[in-house]
Amino acid sequence: MSQSKGVWILKSLSLKAKISYLVVASCIISAFAVFLISTSIARKELVKASQNQLESIASLAQNRIQQYFLQSKEFAEVLGEDRLVEGLFLAYESAFFAAGYEIGEDNDIELADFATQDEIYQERVKGLLKNYGFHNLLLANIDGQIIFSANVSNEKQLLGKSLSDGSLANSHLSECFNESMDGEKKEVRFYDFTYVPLIDRTKAILCIKAFAEFEHLSEGIQAGDNLGVVIVELSLNEINQILSNRAGMGDTGQSYLVADDRLLRSDLFLNPEIFNSKNSIKNGLKIETASVENAIAGNSGYHITTGPLGEEVASVYTSLNVFGKPWALISEKNTSEIFAPINYMITLSFIGIVILVLIALFAANFVAKAFADPLAQIVSQLSKYAKGLETDSDGMRSSAEKLSEAVTEQSAVVEETKAGLNRIMEGSIQNLEGAQKSQEISENVSSETSSAHMQMQSLVEAMHEIKDSFDGISKMVDIIQGVGDKTEVMNSIAFKTQMLSFNASIEAARAGAAGRGFAVVAQEVGQLAEMSSKAATEIEEAIKQTLNQVESLTSSSRSHVSRGEQLVSETSMLLDRVVKGTAVVKESSADIFNSSTEQSDGVKEINVAVDQILIAVNAGEKEAVQAKERSQQLAKQASGLSAISEAMQKLIYGGKNLPNENNVSSNEPKENKILKKLKRKAG
C-alpha cells in the first residue's frame, strides 16, 4: 500500500519537481557512495595499520620472550659450574648443620643462623638475579634439603624445607630435584608455572645439578662431586614487563601468553584482577579463543575475532616453543578503539552532505525551470498533431473496414460459385465414367449374346442328333430281343442234351460193367446240360430286365428330348431379339458417352474462368486486409502518440495540474524557435 502510494505521489509531481528531486537524490546518493567508499577504505587502512602495529608489537614481544627463556637456560647452565654457587653450597650447608637443623624434615629456619653468610652472599646473588631477570634462586643439597633462598625476605617459607619427605615432597620442586639428580650433567630441566599453596603464588623453575670445581677436604668433597641442585625461579614480573609495551596499544591493546593447557602465563592489561596468571592456574580459568587455538596449533596470523573479555578485537597470534612446549603469544586491540577515528569522519561527512544537498536543491530548481518550459510548449503542439492524426486514422480505418467487408462478401459468393461448379464437374465426370462403363458393358453384352446365339444353334443341332440316336437304340432293342430268342433255343438244346444224358445213363446201367465208363460220361454230360440250361435261364432274365430298362429310359429320354428341343427353339428365338436389343443399346451408350465428354469439357472451361475470378477477388481481399491493418497500425501509432503526449504533459505538469486547450492556445504566441522549426517541417 505504501509503495503504490509512493508511486502515485511521484507521478503527480511536475517535471520541475522531479528534476529537482532527481538532482538532490543524485547528490545524496553520490555523497553517500563517496562516504561509504571512503569509510570502507578508511576502515581497511585502519585494519591494515592495526595489523602492522600489532604484528610489530607481537614480533618484538616474541623475540624478547624467546631471548628471555634462552638466556634463562644459559644462565642456569652457567650456575651449574659457577664458583659462587659452589661457595654458596659450602657456606650455607655448613651453617645449616652448625645450627643443628635436621635432614629429611621441614625446619623453621631462623634468619640469624645465616646472618654471616647472608651478609657475604645475598647482595651479590640478588644483583645477579636482577641482571638476568629471575625471581629467586634456591639451593637443595644432595639430601633434598633447601639450604638457601635468595628471596628469603619475602619467601622464608621455603627455606629449610625438605623436598624428599617434607610438605613439598609432592610438589613440582621435589619432582624437579629428583629428576635433576637422576639426570645428566649440565642438563637443564624446565617446569612450567604451577600454583604453590605454601607461598600462595605460581612458580616456573629451571633445575640443574651443581658440581664442585675444587677439592674441599675439610668438608670431604672432591673436585667433580655433586653438591646438589640449583633451582632458578623465572620471574612472572619480568614476563609481564616484556609484554607491557604500550607503544601503539592505546587504551584497550594488550599482549599475553597462554600455554597449551589454555591457562594464562602472564597477566592481562585489561581486568588483571581476574585475568592473571595466578588466578588462571589456581582456579582453572582457561582462555579458549580462536586466536589461542590457532597459535597452539602452530599457526601465525591476523583476524578479527572475540577476545577473552567477550569484545570484538583485532588479534595477531603466533606460536612460541618454550622448552619443547607450544605457547600462544597474543597481541590484540579492541576494534571499537581502532575504528574510533571513523566516527569523527562520519560526523563531518553528514555535515558536508547537508550543505551539498542545499546547494544541489537551488541549482536543480534553476536547471529544471530552464529545461521544462520549452519542453512544455513542444509537448502542447505535439498533442494537437496527435489528436488530428488520431481523427484521420479513425476515418481511414472505417473505410478500410467497409472495403474489407465488401471484398469478403464477394469472395464468399465466388467461393460458393466455385463450389457449385466443382459439384457439377464431379457429376459430369461421374456421368462420363458411367456412360463409358455402359458402353463397355453393352459391347460385352452384344458379344456375349452373339456367342450365346451361336451356341444355341449348336445346341439345336445336338438335340436333333440326340433324337436321331433313339432310332439306333430301337435297333439295339431288336437285337437284344433276338438274343432272347436265341436263349430259348439254348434252353431247348440243354433240355434235349439232358434227356440224352439220362437215356445214356439208363443204357449204361443196362450194360453193366461194360457200360460204367459211358455212365460217367453220360453223368457229366447231364450236369453240363443242366448248367447250360441254368445259364440260359439267367441270360434270358437279364435280357428281359435290360429290355425293360432300355424301353423305360428310351420313353423318358424321348419326352425330355422333345421338351428340350422345344425350349432350345424358344431360347434361340429369344436370343435373336436380345442381340437386336443390345445393338440398339450399344448405339445409345456411344451417343451418351459423346455428350458427357462434351459436357465435361465445357464445365472445365467454366471452372478455369471461375478460378481466375477467385484469384482476382483474393488479391483484392488481401489488399483490403492490408489496408485495414495499415489503418489499424496508424490508429495505434496515433493513440501511442497521444499517450506519449499525455504522459509527457503529466511528466511536465504533474498528475494534478494538466493544462487545458485554452491555456495551450493562449501560449501559442510565445512559441520558441524549436516550435517554429517543427511547424515548418510539418507544413
317 belongs to a structural domain: no
Provide the pairing of β-strand 254-258 with 226-234: unpaired
Pair (496, 436) in one structural domain: yes
Q: How confident is the model at residue 316 (pLDDT cuts 50, 70, 90)?
A: very high
Whole-number pLDDT of residue 524: 78
Number of folded domains that form the chain: 3
Q: Check pLDDT > 60 for residue 656.
A: no
126-155 pLDDT, tens digit per residue, is: 988 888 889 999 999 999 999 999 887 777
Residues 517, 529 within the same domain: yes
Q: Are residues 46 and 147 in the same domain?
A: no
Question: Who wins on pLDDT, 642 or 214?
Answer: 214
pTM over 0.85? The answer is: no
**Residue 57: is its pLDDT beyond 90?**
yes
Give 649's Cβ-side CA count (13 Å radius): 20
Read off the CATH number of the domain in which 413 is found.
1.10.287.950
Q: What is the pLDDT of residues 593-615, one digit of tens each?
A: 777 677 667 767 777 766 777 68
Q: What is the pLDDT of residue 43?
A: 80
Query: Is there a domain that residue 38 lies in?
Result: yes
Q: Is the dihedral of CA 393, 399, 404, 405 positive or negative?
A: positive
Q: Is residue 380 part of a domain?
A: yes
Residue 670: band (very low, low, confident or very high) from pLDDT cuts 50, 70, 90: very low
Task: Kindly tell me if the per-residue pLDDT of 105 is higher than 60.
Answer: yes
% of the chain residues with pLDDT over 70: 73
The verdict on residue 39 lying in a domain is yes
Ranking 425-434, 457-466, 619-628, 672-681 by mean pLDDT, the lowest is 672-681
If asked whether residues 18 and 130 sit together in one domain, one would say no
Neighbours of 141 (CB within 10 A): 22
Query: Which run of H or of E encompasses 190?
Result: strand 189-196
- 375 and 358 share one domain: no
pLDDT tens for each residue of 268-307: 999 999 999 999 999 999 999 999 999 999 999 999 999 9
In a domain, 205, yes or no: yes
In a domain, 585, yes or no: yes
Residues 358 and 385 in one domain: no
106 with 208, same domain: the answer is yes
**Does 432 share its domain with 410?**
yes
> What is the rounded average pLDDT of the residues 55-67?
93
470 plus 599 within the same structural domain: yes
- How confident is the prediction for the chain on average, in pLDDT? 79
Check whether residue 351 and residue 381 sit in a common domain: no
User: H helices within 99-158, ranges in order?
Assistant: 115-132
pLDDT for 624 beyond 80 = no
249 falls within a domain: no
More confident of the two residues 363 and 112: 112
For residue range 381-437, list pLDDT tens digits in order.
Answer: 666 766 766 676 666 667 667 766 766 777 776 677 777 767 777 776 776 677 677
**Residue 669 in this model has a pLDDT that exceeds 60:** no
Residue where one domain finishes, among candidates 206, 228, 243 = 243
Shared-domain flag, residues 489 and 522: yes
Question: Crossing angle for the helix pair 115-132 and 15-79, nearest 10 degrees?
Answer: 140
Question: Has residue 279 been placed in a domain?
Answer: no
Q: What CATH number has the domain bearing residue 191? A: 3.30.450.20
Whether residue 354 is found in the same domain as residue 381: no
**Per-residue pLDDT at 414:** 67
Note down the domain range covering 160.
Answer: 80-243
Does 15 have pLDDT greater than 70? no
Q: How far is residue 449's CA from residue 584's CA, in Å, rounded to a whole number? A: 13
Q: What is the mean pLDDT of residues 319-330?
A: 94
For residue 139, which of 82, 194, 219, 70 has the smallest C-alpha distance?
82
Q: Is residue 454 predicted with pLDDT exceeding 80?
A: no
pLDDT > 70? residue 368: no
